[in-house]
Structure 1
């Protein structure tokens, strides 16, 4: 793929993600116009709005998978892995603001992939609890929900906060909120 074509594709995907997050019924023509490309360029690459949406979700899943790999959730010390994860996933959430749940209803392959990535994060949180970093008297689903909402909140409600600062804030809030209580020294 030529460099300009690759740039156009990336622009269309990012623009599509943003516009579809704001309004899921956004037309391909509106996405093309906002991306600054010809409508035929978008239609040549994507046969339908559904195909474009599927490509946006795949790009988000690709980015999420990269973050999970780089965080080293199974090897790095829990606080380090948590911070790496947060510092990576917050920008992904900002760049790809679409809700993957809507695609999961239509695409079993994407759902399986998302579920596998989600399980990796859940396994990390079980590890964190087993190692004493998280409270074990709180339901694991609640703990996961808290982490997910904190990421969503900082990513979308505080978009000007830099990822490292946002990761610090989320990690501190998370570990103090559902973190294991330590005995006072």
Structure 2
């Protein structure tokens, strides 16, 4: 792919993510206009709106997968892995703010990847509970949901907060609500 085509694709995906976060029903023509591209250019690359959406979610999954790998959720101490994860996932959430619910019919590969990543977070939360980092008397799914919600809050309610500070705040808030009283 030519350098200008790569730049156009990256611009389209970045713009598409932001437009769809504001308006999940936005058309390809609207996204193309926001990206400063002709809609025919977009249609040459993505035959349908759904194809564009799938490309956006694949990019979001790629970025999230990289964050999970770098956080070392299974190897690093829970506190370290948690902070690394939050510090990495906040920028991903800001860069790719659209929600998976905007996909009308996700392909099986995309859905499988999404579930695999969610499973890794679920296993990490289970590890945190088993190691006494999170309270065992709180439903495990609540801890995971609180983590997701706090990340979204830090990423989108405080868009200018730098990721390390956002991670500090998310971890502190998570532990105040779900941390062991001795932690």
Q: TM-score range by the shorter chain?
A: over 0.9
Conserved 8 A contact 1:104-1:110? no
The whole-number CA distance in structure 2 between the counterparts of 1:58 and 1:174 is: 28
**Number of the residue aligned with 1:116:** 116
What is the CA distance between 1:78 and its match in structure 2? 0.7
Cα RMSD, aligned residues only = 1.3
Q: Alpha-carbon deviations, 1:31-80, whole Å to 9, x = none? A: 11111122221111100111101100111011110100010001111111
Conserved 8 A contact 2:134-2:175? yes
Q: Alpha-carbon deviations, 1:142-178, whole Å to 9, x = none? A: 1111111101111111101111110110011111210
Correspondence 1:1-185 to 2 at 5 A: 1-103=1-103, 105-182=105-182
Secondary structure of 2:103's counterpart equals helix
The whole-number CA distance in structure 1 between the counterparts of 2:64 and 2:88 is: 8
**Corresponding residue pairs, total:** 183
What is the CA distance between 1:101 and its match in structure 2? 3.1
Conserved 8 A contact 2:14-2:95? yes
The whole-number CA distance in structure 2 between the counterparts of 1:47 and 1:177 is: 46
TM-score by length of 2: 0.96
Conserved 8 A contact 1:16-1:31? yes
Secondary structure of 2:161's counterpart equals coil
Unmatched segments (≥5 aa) in structure 2? none
What is the CA distance between 1:105 and its match in structure 2? 4.6
Conserved 8 A contact 2:50-2:103? no
Conserved 8 A contact 1:87-1:163? yes
